Amino acid sequence: MNNKRGGTWKIIKPYVAIVASFIYFFPVLWVFLTSFKPRVDIVTTTPRFVFSPTLDHFFRLFFRRVTVAPGEFALEATPFARFFFNSIFLSLFSVALALALGTFAAYAISRFPMRNKGFLMFYILSNRMLPPIAVVVPLYLMYRTLGMMNTYWGMTLLYTAFSIPLAIWMMKSFFDDIPYEIEEAARVDGSSRFRAFYKTALPQVWVGIAATFIISLIFVWNEFLFALMLTGRETRTVPVALSTALRGERGVDWGLLASVEAIYVVPAIILAFVAQGFLLRGLTFGTVRK
């Protein structure tokens, strides 16, 4: 009996998975389709899956026509390219910085005896426990007073601080999982502590670094609240631009919105796909092994 039920479930399982993933991915799919649809196909009341695709929205996202003289138009770049650059730069740079600092910190916490280690780790994590909304007002005042509003370094600092706790926690679990004896063997073999760290320990946690990098990157990539409050025209990131810049006089420009989203989610999706092996190992590392 049992066997038979298991057999049926085995057959059904992939279909359940397909249905579930379709439910999850349908909105994403719809955004993609919308970004290629002509305006008339977007605003119809019956959803359309068949249409003649256009790149018009993507074009409008980066360029706009301005009238230079009667009957003469010129193309002018919209600030969107810059917003994309801001998003990419801020997330890559701050996550890289957080990961570098976090890896060292995690290694030290994992390997050296220190007092109140548990409290220290809790304290580091408590940074992430506060809801962002609670700190955004004091941060706003601080940033304004210190002249850090609307600066790249101000935002980098913020996102680095924002990413460090996760980096430390994740990296510590990776270091905890690799035997200390290997580094000790290296030290006996003639390495300094630092060389033992980067020649033997670091190569063993590459998976962890990759996983931490991707997870942190997605957090910063999606961050909205701080960016909304603390960035200005020059340092604005895409999520903020999306919410503010696209509300034209004629209501929401759905085509434009969809094209931004399509561009914005593509890197995240590609990253998640490429790295799903890492992510899976990264998230389960230390919990299921051994």
Partner 1 sequence: MAQLSLRDVSKSFGEHGELPVLRGIDLEVKDGEFVCLLGPTGAGKTTLFRCIAGLETVDEGEIWLGDQMVNELTPAERDVAIVFESYALYPTYTVYENLAYPLRERRVPNAEIKQRIEEVAEVLHIEHTLQRKPQTCSGGEMQRIAIGRAIIRRPKIFLFDEPLSQLDAKLRNEMRTELKRIHRDLKQTLVYSTPDQLEAMSMGERVATMKDGRIMQYDTPQEVYLHPKNLFTAQYVGDPTMNVVKGTVSSSNGNVRVACPLFTTEITKKNTGTSRVSPSGEVLLGIRPEELTLEKPAGEAVSLHAEVYAVEGYGDYSLVSLSNGDIIWKMVIVGDIGKATLHSDEKVTVYFPKERLHVINPVTEEVLM
Residues that bind partner 1 (CB under 8 A): 179, 181-182, 184-192, 195, 199-200, 203-204
In angstroms, the CA 199 to CA 214 distance is 23
Structural tokens at position 221: 């990539």
Task: Determine the Cα–Cα distance for residues 256 and 60; give it in Å rounded to an integer.
Answer: 7
Which is nearer to partner 1, 164 or 186 (by Cβ)?
186
User: Which of these, 156, 171, 174, 173, lies nearest to 95 by C-alpha position?
Assistant: 156
At position 49, the amino acid (one-letter code) is F
Least spacing, CB of residue 171 vs partner 1, in Å = 17
Closest to partner 1 by CB, 201 vs 241, is 201
Q: Determine how many CB atoms are found less than 10 A away from the CB of residue 207.
A: 16
What is the smallest separation between the CB atom of 184 and partner 1, expressed in angstroms?
A: 5
Task: Name which of 188 and 269 has its Cβ closer to partner 1.
Answer: 188
Query: Between residues 34 and 103, which has the closer beta carbon with respect to partner 1?
Result: 103
CB-nearer residue toward partner 1: 60 or 199: 199
Q: At its nearest, how many Å lie between partner 1 and the CB of residue 185?
A: 4
SS3 14: helix
Report phi then psi at 64, rounded to 5.
-135, 155
Longest dimension (CA), the chain: 82
Nearer CB in complex with partner 1: 142/178: 178
**Per DSSP, what are the bridge partners of residue 271?**
none
Least Å from the CB of residue 176 to partner 1:
16
**Which structure tokens are listed for 162?**
């924002």
Q: Which residue is it, tokens 């109140």?
A: 116
Least distance CB 65 / partner 1 (angstroms): 56
User: Which residue matches tokens 């895409």?
Assistant: 238
Determine the Cα–Cα distance for residues 167 and 106; give it in Å rounded to an integer. 8
- Nearest distance from residue 271's CB to partner 1, in Å? 24
DSSP state of 204: G
